[in-house]
Amino acid sequence: MAIDVLISKESIENRIIDIAKEIDKDYEGKDLVVVCVLNGAFVFCSDLIRKMQKHVYVDFMKASSYGESTVSSGNLRIDLDLKVDIEGKHVLLIEDIVDTGLTLTNIIERLSKRNPASLKLASLLFKKARNKYPVPIDYLGFDIEDLFVIGYGLDFAGKYRELPYIGVYSED
């Protein structure tokens, strides 16, 4: 088993500082509800909100998608739903990675029905080559190749989330 560094701790930190500045500017004078999509986004979310100047509400959501259809949100199982009522609020979803886009498409569809004032997405990573369900990523950390990555919140079978960098996992 080997792990090669794909995105260093320093690169991640620098990118997050830029994204945090953009968010501060875009939401100036507005209340913002940050929704951390569990489990993978917990590291990115905690670093991002600490680089922001503004005060935010933070809530958590956990969902698992199953099936390949995106026609309705019926194929999304909500394991943990928001406590906060987002009607009329500005909402920013925080995700670790958009791969096929199935999970986020479903989450966005579901949260849109609750009539937030706005709903945007920040994702640390985007695997363009694998994207099947187009998801508008308003704040993107890095585009990556079609590789299985771990670290900085991302796991392989529940492990390696604690790594401070994004690495590529390979057997042998």
Question: Which region, judged by CB under 5 A, interacts with Mg ion, from 3-11, 40-48, 105-113, 144-152?
Answer: 40-48
Q: Which candidate, 41, 51, 46, 21, places its Cα nearest to that of 107? A: 41
Q: List binders of ligand IMP among 34-73 (CB under 6 A).
A: 40, 65
Q: Which does 101 bind (CB under 5 to 8 A by kind): ligand IMP, Mg ion, none?
A: ligand IMP
Among 16, 102, 119, 163, which residue sits at the site for ligand IMP (rule: CB under 6 A)?
A: 102
Long-range Cβ contact pairs of 22-30 (< 8 A, separation 24 or more): 22/139, 23/48, 23/52, 23/54, 23/92, 23/122, 23/139, 24/52, 24/53, 24/54, 27/54, 27/90, 27/92, 28/54, 30/90
Instruction: Check binding of 101 to Mg ion (CB under 5 A).
Output: no
User: Would you call 172 a catalytic residue per the annotation?
Assistant: no
CA distance 4 to 100: 23
Instruction: Check binding of 96 to ligand IMP (CB under 6 A).
Output: yes
Residues, the chain: 172
Instruction: Check binding of 40 to Mg ion (CB under 5 A).
Output: yes
Instruction: Check binding of 154 to ligand IMP (CB under 6 A).
Output: yes
Residues with a catalytic annotation lie at 99
Binding stretches for ligand IMP (CB under 6 A)? 40, 65, 96-103, 148-150, 154
